Amino acid sequence: MTYRIFAWGINFKTAPVEDREKLACSREEAYYLLPLLKGVEGIRELMLLSTCNRVEVYGVAEEYEAIYKLINELIQLKGIDPKIRRNSFFLEGEKAIAHIFKVASGLESMVVGEPQIVSQFKEAYRIAKESGCTGKIINRLYEKALKAAKRVRTETSISRNAVSVSYVAVELAKRIFGNLSRVKVLLVGAGEMAELCAKYLKKLQAHLFITNRTYERAVNLAMELEGHVLRFEELKEHLHDFDIVIVSTGSKNYVIDYHMVKGAIRKRNYKPLFFIDISVPRNIDPSINQLDEVFLYDIDDLQEVADKNLKERLKEKEKGEIIIWDEVSKFVKWLDFLKVEDLIIRIKEEWKEERNPRVKRLIHSAIEEIRKEPHLAEKLVKIFLQEVENANTRRKLSYVHNRTNGA
């Protein structure tokens, strides 16, 4: 059986945020989409990773045609223009395995080495497994990706220089205002990325306010960080009170629109108002940039801030790449062995009744050699069968010779 491992998708390197948000999938969507995609003929296993910077499918297929059908099915189910494929990437075999390991390790992140991707990768795998879309290969791929990620973190200094997207958002706020201790910051959303933002802001002594559709979540986070709570339905009424608004929610629609901001900036007497949108899909209407004294930064704008420390991190990234390819070579060997696993089982079954010690040793040696060099399996089996035949011939000749002497 052919195991065609592949990776397809779009990310911040291949596509702008406008395209990424069209393909982005919530947890609920992933649970819905995965079984449908797994139903494509020729697709054996798959998982779907959707973050603010990437939407990627990792899978195992029987042939190219199945992968092509899968991509078309996903685009059709999402109801987006097929032209999005122009901004996508496709990798297979060792390159796909390396890419997956790099993603899990943070080496492919916008902020190289960011730790948040590990939990996102785990969540994507968990959803795929619960949806019945994983198997022997994806399960092993996941385990080895996490092992590679751990090696990169422990054997390089990349984690020292790594920062999350949430951290970069706060760094941008610092660049805008300098000292944040006198600044009023509103955090819209109480998810993982929003919580990270809040923790960084707390360290900088910003006057922190939190709002969320689920009031209890906002209250819990505010209590933990000694911040304040704003009811979500009062957002429009009090938007003008804040200097910086950071938005990170799972909403598919704009949480803050043009008219809300137009009213808020008028109430502020056109004192500058800064918005940072780290949501994908975006939660702030991009048209607010047209308003005087309103400044909006989205997820792609954070790249500039991330690049400041890039040189140092790239040195460690090179070390990480070496680790990744070491793990890839180990995985490929396991994959090669998987191809001859049935052959080894068959050999053991067919010769389990064999009592000749020499033949038993030959069987053991042949299996060990096949394990070491799976690509040579066919030649090794031929040699093994010839040796067995020679051993049996010698045994028969020995029996005839002894009978002759004893006659």
pLDDT on residue 398: 46
**DSSP code per residue over 157-226:** SHHHH---HHHHHHHHHHHHHS-GGG-EEEEE--SHHHHHHHHHHHHTT-EEEEE-SSHHHHHHHHHHHT
52 carries an active-site annotation? yes
pLDDT of amino acid 143: 96
Please give the pLDDT value at position 112.
79
353, burial (CB in 10 Å: exposed 0-12, middle 13-18, buried 19+): exposed
Q: Which CATH architecture has domain 4-155?
A: 2-Layer Sandwich (3.30)
For CATH 3.40.50.720, the residue range(s) in the chain are 165-308
Would you give per-residue pLDDT tens digits along the chain (407 residues)? 567 999 999 999 999 989 999 999 999 999 999 999 999 999 999 999 999 889 999 999 999 999 999 999 999 999 999 999 999 999 999 999 999 999 999 999 887 777 789 999 999 999 999 999 999 999 999 999 999 999 998 898 877 655 667 777 787 788 778 888 888 989 898 777 777 778 888 888 888 899 998 898 889 888 888 889 999 999 999 999 999 898 988 888 899 999 999 999 999 998 989 898 888 888 999 999 999 899 998 888 876 666 666 666 777 888 889 999 999 999 988 887 776 655 556 665 655 665 656 556 666 666 666 666 655 555 555 555 565 566 555 444 444 444 444 44
- The CATH number of domain 165-308 is 3.40.50.720: yes
What is the reported pLDDT for 387? 58
Residue pLDDT, tens place only, 24-61: 999 999 999 999 999 999 999 999 999 988 999 999 99
Bridge pairing between strands 184-188 and 207-211: parallel
Catalytic residue chosen out of the listed positions 25, 52, 133, 197: 52
Structure tokens at 212: 């969320």
Report whether the peptide linkage leading into residue 281 is cis, meaning its omega lies within 30 degrees of zero.
yes
In 3D, which of 244, 242, 218, 245 has the Cα closest to residue 231? 218
pLDDT digits (tens, 9 = 90+) for 218-275: 898 888 888 899 999 999 999 999 998 989 888 888 999 999 999 999 999 989 898 9
Residue intervals of the chain classified under CATH 3.30.460.30 are 4-155
Sheet containing 43-50: give its strands across: 43-50, 54-61, 4-11, 89-92
Tell me the per-residue pLDDT of 194-234, one tens digit each, with 9 for 90 and over: 777 788 888 888 888 999 988 988 898 888 888 899 999 99
Which pLDDT does position 349 carry in this prediction?
Answer: 60
- Residue whose pair of structure tokens reads 């339905």 in the numeric block: 233
Q: Is 92 left (phi over 0), alpha (psi -120 to 50) or beta?
A: beta
Contact 275, 284 (CB under 8 A): yes
Integer Cα distance of 201 and 190 in angstroms: 14
Supply the pLDDT for residue 98: 97
Q: Which residues have C-beta within 8 Å of that of residue 100, sequence separation ≥ 6? A: 7, 58, 141, 145
pLDDT of residue 279: 84
